[in-house]
Amino acid sequence: MSRRSTEQEAPQPVHYGEAEGGGCDQPGCDNKEAYRCLYRDRRAVDCSWAACAEHLRVVEGRGYCLRHASIVEVLSLAASQGTQVSPPDLDNRCASLVMWTARDLDEPVVERLVRWGDADTSIINDPSIRYTRPDRLRQASGHWERVWALANRTGILLRVGIKVQDDRPEVVVLTGGPTDLLSLVPPWIERHLSGQAARVSQADLVERLAFQQQLLSALDTYVEKYGASYPNVLVPLRV
Ligand SMILES: [Zn+2]
Ligand SMILES: [Zn+2]
């Protein structure tokens, strides 16, 4: 009896997010061993915060940053009372721009991957918007990205990404494999930056389609030139 209750009380192993090399984000903490916060909002945008075990809080066996731990606690309390609340959006304009752009591109990109693939390939369509932290050694800025890929048994053949960098929050970058294929400021942001008034919705739609078309043409040109399996190396894909 006592043995059973001990077993029941044994703590579940804590699930932490991906390990991050950059160290803990908590100001003043020097701990180099850090993990991503596991929070993912209702649009599948992941939290960019990484912290050491001491500066993460565990809620229901999962490690979150302090801010999201409180949110997850509220959500799980609501769930226990029979109310399902979806995780509130992360307030990040880079992530939102990736999301809006990727939402429009999803169908045409998947349609292309189907066309470019064959019986031996499969399509990876990961709706999550992930943050890659700044690489200080290479002086590269952090970025948010949404990825599609064509893969076969040996790995990724073609990786297509839409990303927005922290230091250029108004620019959408299309990537093919490891290459930046096209960097564009979406027309509605351009207009906003130049102080022009918003247009009526019909023109807005045309403009958005033209923006999509520019990105898709850049992707088509890349694949026409190099094929869907170039460079035929394994590109790491974080899923
Ligand atoms: Zn820490
Ligand atoms: Zn978080």
Say how many Å lie between the CA of residue 205 and the centre of ligand 2: 34
pLDDT at 200: 63
Tens-digit pLDDT string for the chain (239 aa): 444 544 556 667 899 999 988 899 999 999 999 999 999 999 999 999 999 999 999 999 999 999 999 999 999 998 998 888 889 888 889 999 999 999 999 999 999 999 999 999 999 999 999 999 887 777 888 999 999 999 999 899 999 999 999 999 999 999 998 899 999 999 988 887 787 766 666 778 888 999 999 999 999 999 999 888 755 444 555 54
* Residue 46 DSSP class: B
pLDDT at residue 197, rounded to an integer:
67
Two structure tokens written together for 162: 């839409």
Q: What is the pTM of this model?
A: 0.80
Cα 56 to ligand 1 centroid, rounded to whole Å = 8
Distance from CA of residue 41 to its chain's centroid? 11
**Cis omega (within 30 of 0) on the bond before 134?**
no
Boundaries of every domain in the chain: 2-80, 93-226
- Measured in Å, residue 29 CA sits from the centre of ligand 1 at 5
Q: Which residues contact 141 (CB under 8 A, 6 or more apart)?
A: 134, 165, 166, 167, 168
Q: d(Cα 41, Cα 21) in Å, to the nearest integer?
A: 24
Which ligand neighbours the alpha carbon of 65 most closely? 2
pLDDT, residue 204, reads 81
The pLDDT value given to residue 138: 79
Query: What is the reported pLDDT for 2?
Result: 45
Nearest bound ligand to CA 41? 2
Check: CB of residue 175 under 8 Å from CB of residue 237.
Answer: no
pLDDT of residue 191: 82
CA distance 82 to 72: 15
